[in-house]
Amino acid sequence: MSAPILATKLYLPLPRSTVVSRTRLNERLNEGLLAGRKLTLISAPAGFGKTTLISEWITGCGRPVAWLSLDEGDNDPKRFLMYFITALQTIRPTIGAGVFGTLPSPQTPSIEAVLSNLINEIITVPDPFVFVLDDYHTIDSKPVDQALAFLIEHLPQQMHLVITTREDPDLPLARLRARDQLTELRAADLQFTQAEAAEFLNRVMGLNLSVEGIAALETRTEGWIAGLQLAALSMQGRSDTASFIQTFTGSNRYVLDYLVEEVLRQQTEAVQIFLLRTSILERMCGPLCEAVLCKPAGSGQEILEYLERANLFIIPLDNERCWYRYHHLFADLLRHRLFHSNPLSFVDRQQEADERMDAQALNRRASEWYEANDSAADAIHHALAAKDFERAAYLIELAVPETRRNRQGASVMELGWLKALPDELVRFRPVLSVAYAFALFGSGEIEGVEARLLDAERWLHRMPNTREGTETRPVGMIVVDEDEFRRLPGMIALLRTAQALARNDMPATVKNARRVLELAPEDDYLMLGGAASTLGLTAWASGDLAAAHRMINDGMGNVRRAGYISPAIGNAITLGDIQIAEGRLHEAMITYQRALQWATTPGIPVLRGAADMHVGLSNLYFEHNDLQTALQHLLSSRALGELAGLPQNPYRWCAAMARILAAQGDLDGALDQLDKAERLYDGNFSPNLRPIATSKVRLWVTQGRLREALGWIREQELSVDDDLSYLREFDHITMARVLLALYQNDPTSLSIQEAMRLLERLLKAAEERGGMGSVIEILILQAMAYHAQGDLPAALEPLRKALTLAEPEGYVRLFVDEGLPMMQLLREAASRGITSDYTGKLLTAFEAGERKSQPKADLASAQPLIEPLSQRELKILQLIAQGFSNREIGERLFLALDTVKGHNRRIFDKLQVQSRTEAVARAREFGLL
Residue 793 above 50 pLDDT? Answer: yes
Q: CB neighbours (10 Å) of residue 83?
A: 21
Q: Which residues sit opposite 470 in a β-bridge?
A: 467
Closest of 149, 156, 182 to residue 42, by C-alpha? 182
More confident site: 313 or 543: 543
d(CA 658, CA 648): 16
Contact between 62 and 128 under an 8 Å Cβ cutoff? The reply is no
d(CA 594, CA 588): 10
Q: Which CATH code for domain 7-190?
A: 3.40.50.300
Residue 75 above 50 pLDDT? Answer: yes
More confident site: 326 or 91: 91
- Count CA atoms within 13 Å of residue 748 on its CB side: 0
Q: How confident is the model at residue 266 (pLDDT cuts 50, 70, 90)?
A: low
Closest of 547, 481, 483 to residue 513, by C-alpha? 547
Name which of 49-53, 54-58, 347-351 the model is least confident about: 347-351
pLDDT for 462 equals 73
Q: How confident is the model at residue 895 (pLDDT cuts 50, 70, 90)?
A: confident
Residue-wise pLDDT tens digits, 1-37: 345 778 889 988 877 666 787 888 988 999 999 888 9
Name which of 138-147, 708-717, 916-925 the model is least confident about: 916-925
For the segment 216-237, the average pLDDT, to the nearest whole number, is: 72
d(CA 820, CA 843): 11
Contact between 808 and 772 under an 8 Å Cβ cutoff? The reply is no
Name which of 117-126, 173-182, 401-410 the model is least confident about: 401-410
pLDDT for 68 equals 95
d(CA 325, CA 323): 7
Residue 761 above 70 pLDDT? Answer: yes
Residue-wise pLDDT tens digits, 645-656: 888 999 999 999
Name which of 354-363, 570-579, 734-743, 890-899 the model is least confident about: 354-363
Residue 853 above 50 pLDDT? Answer: no
Residue 713 above 90 pLDDT? Answer: yes
| Coil vs helix vs strand at 742 | helix
For the segment 369-379, the average pLDDT, to the nearest whole number, is: 89
Percent of the residues in the chain that have a pLDDT greater than 70, as a whole number = 87
pLDDT for 3 equals 56
pLDDT for 113 equals 79
d(CA 12, CA 875): 48
871-925 architecture in CATH?
Orthogonal Bundle (1.10)
pLDDT for 347 equals 45
267-382 and 871-925 share one fold: yes
Contact between 875 and 893 under an 8 Å Cβ cutoff? The reply is yes
Q: How confident is the model at residue 806 (pLDDT cuts 50, 70, 90)?
A: very high
pLDDT for 310 equals 64
Residue-wise pLDDT tens digits, 391-449: 999 998 888 777 665 443 335 567 788 888 998 888 888 989 988 888 888 777 778 88
Residue 311 above 90 pLDDT? Answer: no
pLDDT for 287 equals 93
Mean pLDDT of the chain: 84
**What are the helix (H) ranges across 373-487?**
376-385, 389-405, 412-420, 423-427, 430-442, 449-462, 482-486
d(CA 586, CA 590): 6
Q: What angle do CA 524, 525, 530 make, to 5 degrees?
A: 110
Contact between 542 and 510 under an 8 Å Cβ cutoff? The reply is no
More confident site: 188 or 271: 271
d(CA 397, CA 400): 5
Q: Which residues sit opposite 69 in a β-bridge?
A: 134
Say what angle helices 836-861 and 871-881 make with each other, to 10 degrees: 60
Residue-wise pLDDT tens digits, 620-637: 999 999 999 999 999 899
Contact between 826 and 842 under an 8 Å Cβ cutoff? The reply is yes
The residues near 215 (Cβ < 8 Å, ≥ 6 apart) are 194
Q: Which CATH code for domain 690-851?
A: 1.25.40.10
Residue 271 above 60 pLDDT? Answer: yes
For the segment 447-460, the average pLDDT, to the nearest whole number, is: 87
d(CA 143, CA 443): 14
Name which of 533-542, 636-645, 685-694, 766-775 the model is least confident about: 636-645
Percent of the residues in the chain that have a pLDDT greater than 90, as a whole number = 43
Contact between 226 and 190 under an 8 Å Cβ cutoff? The reply is no
For the segment 160-177, the average pLDDT, to the nearest whole number, is: 90
pLDDT for 857 equals 36
Strands 324-326 and 314-316: antiparallel
Contact between 814 and 799 under an 8 Å Cβ cutoff? The reply is no
d(CA 929, CA 921): 9
pLDDT for 501 equals 86
**What are the helix (H) ranges across 807-896?**
813-816, 820-831, 836-861, 871-881, 886-893
Residue 867 above 80 pLDDT? Answer: no
Sign for the CA dihedral angle at 736, 742, 746, 748 comes to negative
Residue 356 above 80 pLDDT? Answer: no
Q: CB neighbours (10 Å) of residue 778?
A: 27
d(CA 61, CA 341): 45
Closest of 718, 666, 719, 720 to residue 693, by C-alpha? 718
Which option is the CATH number for 267-382: 1.10.3470, 1.20.120, 3.40.50, 1.10.10?
1.10.10
Q: How confident is the model at residue 152 (pLDDT cuts 50, 70, 90)?
A: very high
Q: Which residues sit opposite 130 in a β-bridge?
A: 65, 160
Contact between 442 and 410 under an 8 Å Cβ cutoff? The reply is yes
d(CA 105, CA 410): 8
| Coil vs helix vs strand at 466 | coil
Closest of 523, 448, 77 to residue 435, by C-alpha? 448
Instruction: Confirm whether pTM is higher than 0.75.
Output: no
Q: CB neighbours (10 Å) of residue 602?
A: 5
**What residue ranges do the domains of the chain occupy?**
7-190, 195-263, 267-382, 388-486, 690-851, 871-925
d(CA 922, CA 929): 10
Beta strands in 177-296 (DSSP E): 182-186
